A and B are shown apart, each in its own frame.
Chain A
Amino acid sequence: MITNDLAVMIGGRAGDGSLVTGEILAKVFRDMGLEVFTIRDFPSNIRGLPTSYTIRTKDRSIMARKDHPDILLAIDEEALRLHGDELPPDGVVIYDSSSGEGPPDFEREDVHVYQVPLKSITVDNLGGARAEIFKNVVSLGVLAHLLSVDVAIIKEAIEKEFSRKGEEIVQKNFQALDLGAQYADENLAKTDPYVLERRDKQDSLLILGDDAIAYGALAAGLRFYAGYPITPATEILEWLAAHMPEYNGVVVQAEDEISAVTMCLGASYAGLRSMTGTSGPGADLMVEAISMSGMAELPLVIIHGQRGGPSTGLPTKVEQADLKHVLFASHGDFPRIVLAPGTIEEGFYLTAKALNLAERFQLPVIVLTDQALCQNKQTIPPFDLSQIEVDRGKLLNDPIEALQSPNGGNFHRYALVEDGVSPRPIPSIPGGLHEASSIEHDEMGYTTEDPELRKAMMAKRMRKLETARPELPGPVLHGDPSADLVFLSFGYPTGAIWEAMERLKEDGIPTKYVQLRTLWPFPAEEVGDLLADAREILVVEHNYSGQLAALLPTLLGKVLPTTSVTRYDGLLMTPGEIVAAAKEVA
Chain B
Amino acid sequence: MAQAYDLTIKEFNACEETWCPGCGDFGVNGALKRAMVNLELSPEQIVLVTGIGCSSKISDYFKSYTFHTIHGRPLPVASAIKIANPDLNVIVATGDGDGYAIGMGHFIHAIRRNVNITMIVMNNQVYGLTKGQFSPTAARGFESGTSPDGSEEDPIDGPALALAAGASFVARSFSADMKGSIATFEAAIRHRGFSVVDDLSPCVTFNKVNTYAWFRQNIRKLEEEDYEPTDRTRALELVLNSEKIPVGILYQDDSPPDTYEERVLKDLTKAPVWENLDPKGWEYARIMDEFR
Question: Do A and B associate with each other?
Answer: yes
Q: Which A residues fall within an 8 A CB radius of B?
A: 203-207, 211, 215, 218-221, 223-224, 226, 243, 245, 247-250, 252, 254-256, 258-260, 262-267, 269-274, 288-289, 292, 296, 382-383, 385, 388-390, 392, 397, 399, 410, 426-430, 432-439, 445-447
Which residues on A sit within 8 Å (CB–CB) of B83?
224, 250, 252, 267
- 6 other A-B residue contacts (CB within 8 Å) besides A382-B288, A436-B66, A439-B52: A205-B292, A215-B284, A250-B264, A252-B83, A273-B277, A426-B273
Q: Considering the complex of A and B, which 5 residue pairs feature the smallest CB-CB distances, nearest first?
A: A221-B277, A266-B80, A266-B77, A270-B84, A205-B291
B4 within 8 A of A: no
Which residues on A sit within 8 Å (CB–CB) of B47?
270, 427
B252 within 8 A of A: no
Partner pick for B275 among A223, A274, A288, A438, CB 8 A cutoff: A223
| A36 CB to nearest chain B CB (Å) | 12
| A569 CB to nearest chain B CB (Å) | 31
Partner pick for A264 among B80, B106, B274, CB 8 A cutoff: B80
Partner pick for A258 among B52, B73, B81, CB 8 A cutoff: B73
Partner pick for A433 among B44, B68, B76, B284, CB 8 A cutoff: B44
B43 within 8 A of A: yes
B291 contacts A206, C-beta separation under 8 Å = yes
Partner pick for B288 among A205, A224, A428, CB 8 A cutoff: A205
Which residues on A sit within 8 Å (CB–CB) of B285?
385
B57 within 8 A of A: yes
B259 within 8 A of A: no
Which residues on A sit within 8 Å (CB–CB) of B88?
270, 427-428
Which residues on A sit within 8 Å (CB–CB) of B65?
427-428, 432-434
| B144 CB to nearest chain A CB (Å) | 25
A265 contacts B14, C-beta separation under 8 Å = no
| A330 CB to nearest chain B CB (Å) | 11
Show 30 residue pairs from A and B whose CB-CB distance is below 8 angstroms, ordered by the A residue.
A204-B292, A205-B291, A211-B291, A215-B284, A218-B287, A221-B277, A223-B275, A223-B277, A224-B272, A248-B265, A250-B265, A255-B106, A258-B105, A258-B106, A259-B109, A262-B69, A262-B77, A266-B67, A266-B78, A266-B84, A272-B84, A389-B279, A426-B273, A429-B44, A433-B64, A435-B66, A436-B66, A438-B52, A446-B15, A447-B57
| B275 CB to nearest chain A CB (Å) | 6
| Interface size grouping (class) on chain B | 35 or more
B184 within 8 A of A: no
Across chains A and B, the number of contacting residue pairs, with CB separation under 8 Å, is: 184
| B265 CB to nearest chain A CB (Å) | 7
Using CB atoms, name the residue of chain A closest to B56.
A439
Which residues on B sit within 8 Å (CB–CB) of A254?
76, 109
Given contacts A250-B272, A433-B65, A447-B60, whether A428 and B44 have CB atoms under 8 Å apart is yes
Which residues on B sit within 8 Å (CB–CB) of A436?
66-68
Given contacts A430-B44, A432-B44, A439-B68, whether A271 and B84 have CB atoms under 8 Å apart is yes
| A433 CB to nearest chain B CB (Å) | 6
Partner pick for B85 among A219, A428, A433, CB 8 A cutoff: A428
B80 contacts A224, C-beta separation under 8 Å = yes
B79 within 8 A of A: yes
Which residues on A sit within 8 Å (CB–CB) of B77?
262-263, 265-266, 269
Which residues on A sit within 8 Å (CB–CB) of B52?
438-439
Using CB atoms, name the residue of chain B closest to A355.
B277
A433 contacts B63, C-beta separation under 8 Å = yes
| A339 CB to nearest chain B CB (Å) | 20
Which residues on B sit within 8 Å (CB–CB) of A389?
279
Which residues on B sit within 8 Å (CB–CB) of A267?
80-81, 83-84
Which residues on B sit within 8 Å (CB–CB) of A428?
44-45, 65, 85, 87-88
B67 contacts A435, C-beta separation under 8 Å = yes
| A237 CB to nearest chain B CB (Å) | 14
* Complex: A385 Cα to B60 Cα, angstroms: 44
* Complex: A286 Cα to B242 Cα, angstroms: 41
Which residues on B sit within 8 Å (CB–CB) of A247?
282
Partner pick for A270 among B43, B80, B277, CB 8 A cutoff: B80
Which residues on B sit within 8 Å (CB–CB) of A382?
288
